[in-house]
Chains A and B, each alone.
Chain A
Amino acid sequence: MLFGTRDRRSALARDALVNGGRARASRASALLRLLLVAMVVFAGVAHSQAIQPLPFKNRAEKVRFQHLTSQLRCLVCQNETIADSNAELARDLRLDVFQQMQQGRSDKQIKQYLVARYSDFVLYDPPLQADTLLLWFGPLLILLAGAAVVVIAIRRRSRDAGTTAQVPAGQAPTDNEDDW
């Protein structure tokens, strides 16, 4: 898109030169058009540099880059991804990821490269391995424990209800303590 606009500008400049001898008015308007186009072009350049100066080959590559960097943690701010962070290190790591992509390395290889240097902490998604089992399945364990407590309480209560029904009239049930 940028190159397209640049070509248009040079075409206009040529246009202005060819027609230059004809009339001052048309030259002035050509200059004005040139100026306008230049403004648009340079505004575009400044804008793209402020946000993302990396020269992507195509949209797919850009999407892949954004997807990958948004899964990686900035070590300086720690609650930001390297895609979001403004820290110098995040900028360096973005460039690093980009260059590795240019070298044809896979997402997995790039992640391994960073994990080797900055540990699993650099990954937003903790990998499933021996020392993260509790992290992954701890909530499930707590859920199961809660379910067990509920099941036991219900069973005991229905059993108590059953025995109470069988107790001959006049005898009050003695096991009141479970009634919490």
Chain B
Amino acid sequence: MALAPVDRSSLPAVGPSPTFTFPAIVRHVLPNGLRVRTVEHASIPVVTFVLQVEGGSGADPAPQEGLASLVGDMVDEGTGSLSAIDVSDALARIGADYDVDTGADATNFSLTTLVRFADRGAALLANLLTRPSLRESDFTRVRQLRIDRLRQMKDVAPAVAERAFLRLLYGPHPYGHSPLGNEEALRGLTIEQVAAFHAATVRPSRATLVIAGGMRHDELLRVAAAAFGEWTEPESPTLTGIAASSIEPTLTSRRLMIVHRDGAAQSELRIGHLAARRRTPDYAALVVMNAVLGGQFVSRVNLKLREEKAYTYGARTGFDWKRGLAPFSLSTSVHTASTADAVQDAAAEIEAIRGARPVTDNELALAQASLTRGYPAGFETASQVARAVSQLALHDLPDSYFSDFVPTVNAVTAADVTRVAAQYLDPSRLVALVVGDSSVVAEPLRGLSFGEPQLLPVQM
């Protein structure tokens, strides 16, 4: 066919985006009280199960930091007559991907397998979760591996920064520790505590099972019921106490801390403060604000620190959403010599979007377009779909949430963005953390408006 020559005088126009509709989520409740949500996802004969249990690391009883995630690690260490090795073998034989993710508010156990192995995969997952062996000998090995891993992480600058920053932001609040725990707390744990925490948290009344895959709803439900129908609520009490999300953390004041790393080639930076809850009515405006400020490649922070100043390979900002008050923070790793300049430029960008340099129409349009036009690409796989639906359960969001996302984001105005930036970002509460060579970076950091830098030890 005859082709018109390409007009290179301007970029081709982008057509309107088709309306995005998330597949139907069907909710069921099994007779034992287990909540089940099924989603048909037909592209490839693969199925993903996500069993979400309320009570993640935020439910670790003080001082047993790391207990929830250690329970997560113990679940696939054996069930019935199967040893840890046998479990690993059984997973491999159905080509399964098995994963445990302990978050602040919940732990997600997920398993992906081929549709033709759906029943075997579900039965295996159910056996692991509801009847784990929790043997003492496995426990001592798993705990030792965790302690050794923490020791290794002392040399991983981003890991050191993440742990120290959580503590700086939250203090003694139950969100203030890494799910991995710390060496001292782990050494004090017992297998009895693991068993008790398992019994108190992993039970039908606290769980939601999401299944997405290339099967019909009734088949997905049948698989769920066959595997989890016999699961009964233990007679022992469920976890008591106030949920971490309901405890108000003490807010920080502006300061700068340094974790010394001798001869570090780069400084790892975290700058932020506690800012918002996932259920805030301003969620969409905050997501747009973050996209403009540092949530994507073309953002103020990345353009300034990477593309203009070449301080770093990349810089980003984001909310680490939780049920309770969650942090907004900027993360980057910068050349040691540029540390103070990078902290200053980063803090200046956080400050400016609150009003001195409000979001422009172009920035707003770019952020909205990038958040909405590419939205469907986040739901290609069964695993993406199942994990997304489990987030709805965690945050008690409506089933229409994903289909509503695009119009909701597109309704955000420039005034909304400036308002939420001014309301939720607070320079007087900014905490800056530098993991780097203090003999080089401390002096220039002293000249910034964060007061006298304070040294923090590495804590694992």
Do A and B form a real pair?
A: no
A residues lining the B interface (CB < 8 Å): none
